[in-house]
Structure 1
């Protein structure tokens, strides 16, 4: 019989990030996975800007960027003609330190995360399977099957189900997984390729009744994602030669070698609950959706970082157990919103009719090119794709407004002469930001509670980003704004913390 604070089931990116963030905050974790090693294929590919921002908390961003491949542009093609080249850099560079689409295969990503976790003293326990659990008397008794076939009982305060779309944890809890499966079958292929479009950028090619996307993860190497248009009962036995090559041929792409090929059906589902007693669902165990926009893995990582600081606070006695209810409230709304958005895009890409073909091939690429010439449209679309627009404004932990920033918002990023306001966010801690002149009362309040106070001399750039001069922003350990206060009034901060039952020392 073993004991720990949190038992994590599943060692994909979501589970590994949860283990990393908890361990960094002094929480004793155990992470198990029924497989013998990290996934051998490059399933999820895209790491978005918001994930990289959060990765700075554990000095992961630079390592991921160095190992991955920056795609500077997205190119739209229709019937073999280049229709639009969309670059996010001009707009994104004012919004985030990471104004690009980073392609980093999931198998490599998992190995990096597991190595970082092992360096902190926690090793993934492979070929270890959860066979059952009981949640009673303030703890969870988890029954595990070990690699040699023997069984063990592991006692834990909390259990985190990061065990994928078929989650045994979710099934054990009998939590509904509302949604359905799309009729269409997709294929994915990791390939070595040559040709003018094997240039290290993203290319999306539309043709009549055909579609393919190329995500480059090196020059001459990438992933093809396409649609199997005709319904086939034996879709799981298809090979690369069986699928339509019309759209990829239109990219003037020569496939030199197929390193991996698979087909799959796409689901869109969200669990009815993300918390049940001392058990939580995260990542694909809680929500699955179409791969449009590469949002899935990033959303699971967001789940993990949202939950990690809350679990740490409760386990350290700095917050009541009710704080953990905010995990479901904040993340289930985002999951539902994401499923609805990707569902609309998926329907547009896969619809079969003459009108749908004309819309995809003739109209959409032209409109996309024109829209991206409009700054506000370009910014809006970048924020959606990069997940920098995600917020918890309606959440139970969000209070106040100061200029354009509300409680629950991602803190706007501002870079001034090489010193940006995200540098202090590398610490997983509560902190206060003042853009302007701090009052003595605010300094005293922060000093008495051990809360870091970060002061940035006011500039016009701060106002452009939506911040208010001389306002005070209380930031959560996951870098979102908890309280935005136009006036530096310590009593507002005390009232907020008392309402949530949070202590900061």
Structure 2
């Protein structure tokens, strides 16, 4: 019987990132997937800034940037008329090293992650599915089946379900997945063609009863169309072809389609698992939460789940933390999922609402005021922080403590630029680190050296104050670069007290 520290079921982006992070931290991991290979269709497109920040820790950000495509402008259409062109560009300038919206289709994304995982010495085991598992004290024994239905038993300390909305792991642990589906049916099509809307930018057309979003997937003539299917057609969704839905909204944007690479219809669901952990099993990504595609949040949120759980599993397996630390995974990520579903629900509800009042607002009022709002710095910053997931924080969860300046334990570390770089430079491998802006006290330097915690001292300047940092404060960063402890007056007692309170042995 094979054995590993961690068995991951599901090799989509969340499972692959979890495996990569665990490998980088020296954990013995196995990853299986029921599919015969990586995805060939691109369900997700957007890579958000927070994901790129986390990817930088593993040397993945630059390859994603080089292979992807930034979105510099947002175009709003209403009933066939171009109403606004809003500059995005570096909309998040000063907030992150990645202050833009970035497109990187999921099929390419998965191939990159699989290649990196293979370089790290781990291959995804394909055509392998989970039929169930038994828990035995300090480990589980999973029942795996291959393409020929041959059963294998695999022992693991921890079992992670990254296996999507129909998760076998979630079903096996008996966790409810309440929610529902939106009434509208949608279609998605990857196309090549010619149109003012196939201009390498983001285009949204709002009509009386139709919604069409055009995403650039590459410069010049290639894009993805996402639109509503009218109710009279939805009843025969299984037989629908692209020509059946290429109606008024597409005519409005003057799209001449020369090639359809992929077409599908689907209903959008919103569901959240009642728990993200039961015993020695965890749920990550779509296995734990699904929601509308508004804002391009789903895949990025799943990657955030994976990174959050990975370093905690590594800490427990390597004796740096008690098993109780793993409870903080659900405590941190489940509230994030609930907020995300609520936010995307509101956005999605507005975009798809019908009725005379909704139509007036959507096709008349919104196109008139959006250009004005798009020029307001505060509105642009709030929009970017929300979409990019840089606003996400864990202030009220266990493991996070203290306040220094405007930064609290559980916050994402604010980004600060310097002439020679920035304060987000990665460690050789993910781990704890301490940041200090200004002069460090000798006892803090000694404490970091004794505990093997890299201490990074940065010169204090006006940008540090603008970011909310405090001079002379010590920010003890978790391996996911969230602030574990913000100590305004750092000392050995304060730092040791944080370790004791959380059972940490660094």
Task: Check the 8 A contact 1:401/1:407 in 2, yes or no.
Answer: yes
Q: Does 1:203 align with 2:203?
A: yes
Counterpart position of 2:453: 451
Shift of 1:351: 1.1
Counterpart position of 1:257: 259
Which residue among 436, 439, 462 is the counterpart of 1:437?
439
Which ranges of structure 2 fall in alignment gaps of 5 or more residues?
none
Which residue among 374, 399, 406 is the counterpart of 2:401?
399
- TM-score scaled to structure 1, two decimals? 0.98
Shift of 1:90: 4.3
Counterpart position of 2:318: 316
Task: Check the 8 A contact 1:425/1:479 in 2, yes or no.
Answer: no
Shift of 1:208: 1.5
Q: Does 1:389 align with 2:394?
A: no
Task: Check the 8 A contact 2:312/2:326 in 1, yes or no.
Answer: yes
CA-to-partner distance for each residue in 1:92-122, whole Å, 9 max, x for gaps? 1211111221111111111110110011110
Which residue among 269, 272, 280 is the counterpart of 2:271?
269
Counterpart position of 2:231: 230
Counterpart position of 1:15: 15
Shift of 1:493: 1.2
CA-to-partner distance for each residue in 1:10-65, whole Å, 9 max, x for gaps? 00000000000001100000000011111121111111111011001110011111
CA distance in 2: counterparts of 1:40 and 1:342, whole angstroms: 26
Aligned pairs for 1:294-313 (under 5 A) are: 294-313=296-315
Shift of 1:221: 0.8
Task: Check the 8 A contact 2:71/2:89 in 1, yes or no.
Answer: no
Partner of 1:454, secondary structure, is strand
Task: Check the 8 A contact 2:203/2:214 in 1, yes or no.
Answer: yes
Shift of 1:243: 1.1
Shift of 1:389: 0.4
Counterpart position of 2:87: 87
CA-to-partner distance for each residue in 1:350-372, whole Å, 9 max, x for gaps? 11101111111111222222112
Deviates more, 1:423-432 or 1:14-23: 423-432
Task: Check the 8 A contact 1:88/1:99 in 2, yes or no.
Answer: no
Task: Check the 8 A contact 1:433/1:454 in 2, yes or no.
Answer: yes
Deviates more, 1:360-369 or 1:460-469: 360-369
Which residue among 467, 470, 476 is the counterpart of 2:478?
476
Counterpart position of 1:57: 57
CA distance in 2: counterparts of 1:494 and 1:168, whole angstroms: 42
Shift of 1:242: 0.9
Counterpart position of 2:504: 502
Partner of 2:76, secondary structure, is strand
Counterpart position of 2:176: 176
CA distance in 2: counterparts of 1:158 and 1:103, whole angstroms: 34
- Aligned pair in 2 of structure 1 residues 462, 91: CA closer, same or farther (>3 Å)? farther
Shift of 1:88: 3.3
CA distance in 1: counterparts of 2:139 and 2:422, whole angstroms: 43
CA distance in 2: counterparts of 1:96 and 1:252, whole angstroms: 37
Shift of 1:89: 3.2
Aligned pairs for 1:93-104 (under 5 A) are: 93-104=93-104
CA-to-partner distance for each residue in 1:261-286, whole Å, 9 max, x for gaps? 00001110100000001000010000
CA distance in 1: counterparts of 2:286 and 2:90, whole angstroms: 33
CA-to-partner distance for each residue in 1:230-289, whole Å, 9 max, x for gaps? 152211221111115322322232222111000001110100000001000010000000
Shift of 1:436: 0.7
Q: How many residues align?
A: 504
Partner of 2:231, secondary structure, is coil
Partner of 1:35, secondary structure, is coil
CA distance in 1: counterparts of 2:311 and 2:126, whole angstroms: 26
Which residue among 378, 381, 386 is the counterpart of 1:379?
381
Deviates more, 1:231-240 or 1:396-405: 231-240
Shift of 1:488: 2.1
Deviates more, 1:484-493 or 1:2-11: 484-493
RMSD of the TM alignment (CA)?
1.2
Aligned pairs for 1:319-334 (under 5 A) are: 319-334=321-336
Deviates more, 1:157-166 or 1:351-360: 351-360
CA distance in 1: counterparts of 2:38 and 2:360, whole angstroms: 42
Which ranges of structure 1 fall in alignment gaps of 5 or more residues?
none
CA distance in 2: counterparts of 1:95 and 1:254, whole angstroms: 39
Shift of 1:469: 1.2
CA distance in 1: counterparts of 2:91 and 2:472, whole angstroms: 27
Partner of 1:26, secondary structure, is coil
Partner of 2:254, secondary structure, is coil
Partner of 1:362, secondary structure, is helix
CA distance in 2: counterparts of 1:210 and 1:471, whole angstroms: 53
Shift of 1:80: 2.5
CA distance in 1: counterparts of 2:463 and 2:91, whole angstroms: 15
Task: Check the 8 A contact 1:309/1:478 in 2, yes or no.
Answer: yes
